[in-house]
Amino acid sequence: GIQVEQSPPDLILQEGANSTLRCNFSDSVNNLQWFHQNPWGQLINLFYIPSGTKQNGRLSATTVATERYSLLYISSSQTTDSGVYFCAVGKSISNFGNEKLTFGTGTRLTIIP
């Protein structure tokens, strides 16, 4: 199956700092999603981004499918950004897709006030 590697595993930053999280994957994909898991455990979908660039407020993501990586940028970090960020990738050959998602082990981000 597809291997997913996220880096760094842990990141501690001061409030207001910017950060870049990386997701490398071992095969071509047609499904890539970024999630934020808050301290209470819930996962929130941040981006569906199999290719290209998207922005949502202070967050943006870029996927370079040909080079098999994706980046998540967080600008002007706030304490509420703390948690674990997961990248999930998949390669579907049917009309269905999400059952093929493979999750990375995440980047734990801690924002210090």
Partner 1 sequence: DGGITQSPKYLFRKEGQNVTLSCEQNLNHDAMYWYRQDPGQGLRLIYYSQIVNDFQKGDIAEGYSVSREKKESFPLTVTSAQKNPTAFYLCASSFRGRTGELFFGEGSRLTVL
Contacts to partner 1 by CB under 8 A: 4, 30-31, 33, 35, 40-45, 48, 86, 88, 92, 95-99, 101-106
Nearer to partner 1, 18 or 26 (CB): 26
Nearer to partner 1, 14 or 94 (CB): 94
Give the nearest distance from C-beta 65 to partner 1 in angstroms.
14
CB 20, CB 77: distance < 8 Å: no
Segments in 4-103 forming alpha helices (H): none
Distance separating the N- and C-terminal Cα atoms of the chain:
40
Nearer to partner 1, 48 or 112 (CB): 48
Q: Alpha-carbon distance 5 to 19, whole Å?
A: 17
